[in-house]
Amino acid sequence: MTDDATHVPVLLDRILELFAPALDGKPAVLVDATVGLGGHADALLSAHPALRLIALDRDPNALERSARRLARHGDRVEFVHAVYDELPEVLDRFGLSHVDGVLFDLGVSSMQLDLAERGFAYSKDAPLDMRMDPTTGQTAADVLNTYSVGDLSRILRDYGEEKFAFKIAKAVVADRDDEPFDRSGRLVELLYRVVPAASRRTGGHPAKRTFQALRIEVNGELDVLRRAIPAALDALPVGGRIVVESYQSLEDRVVKQAIAELAKSRTPPGLPVELPGHGPRVKLLTRGAEKAAPEEVEHNPRAASVRLRGAERIGVAP
């Protein structure tokens, strides 16, 4: 199991660098929308003694473990069991109209992968759960056992970018008629049977894309993210900053589009000057999506797939 105190979060130094101008030398408020094991939060609180941090997570286990790690910061931290698209309601609860920074570290956490009973890791036979909040909602087993061939094929194709989506979906529906799916090991066996060996040699583990697709569907991850990023940007004052770490292309695309939309001028083309209130509302802080250096990946394999984007609020909506 991950040692919470020694767990090193991805791109920590870069995240500290990006947030510093928004947090330095003043009482500031930052929302860690996916606090996880609290690594980023711990470093930010240590770097900024006047910082107040609101720690969100949909996983109660994550909140318990991050609370232990962050206990030394006392009442500078507030913990909230919430999904990150609930950010506006959370800010209302604390009487806040804006915050100085919002951090998202998306995807499944190392803590969740370490807990075999959560069913996120295809390398371990476990119940097919995959809920980030294990107290509510449908499980991966529910999806496999109730969705039609068409719906299964759609989520495997759209969320897993799986080119054998239809073939896998047909096999799942045929097999569940004999016995419902309840363990990840049985699903992995089916995938080894259905996905051609030639594809496995070039495309990695045959379960990787299917498990990603099921996890996204179970947790509504992309729909939640499409609501959360605009809400976070709206919560920033001029000078406030957002930083997002994504770990697969579908997440990164949502983040890129939401930020790029606000980085554009809304002055009609051809006018010689920027119309008042029509300029860009954010400034990009990263050129494209930044990746981890090879040295970090060597010591922290989870960093291999990270894509980091950041933006600063420079204008308000008209």
Task: List the binding residues for S-adenosyl-L-methionine.
Answer: 38-40, 57, 84, 105, 112
Give the tokens for residue 143: 């999806």
Closest CA to 53 of 66, 64, 65: 66
Annotated binding site: 38-40, 57, 84, 105, 112
* Strands of the 101-105 sheet, one edge to the other: 77-81, 51-57, 28-32, 101-105, 241-246, 307-313, 282-284
CA distances (Å), origin 62, targets 45, 80, 137, 204: 18, 11, 18, 29
Question: Cα torsion for 282, 289, 41, 258, to the nearest 10°?
Answer: 40
Report the relative pairing of strands 101-105 and 77-81 from DSSP bridges: unpaired
CA distances (Å), origin 137, targets 80, 91, 217: 19, 24, 11
CB-hemisphere CA count at 13 Å for 47?
Answer: 19
Segments of 65-161 assigned E as strands: 77-81, 101-105
Closest CA to 13 of 45, 34, 43: 43
Q: What is the DSSP string of 157-219?
A: HHHH--TTHHHHHHHHHHHHTTS---BHHHHHHHHHHHS-HHHHHHH--TTHHHHHHHHHHHH
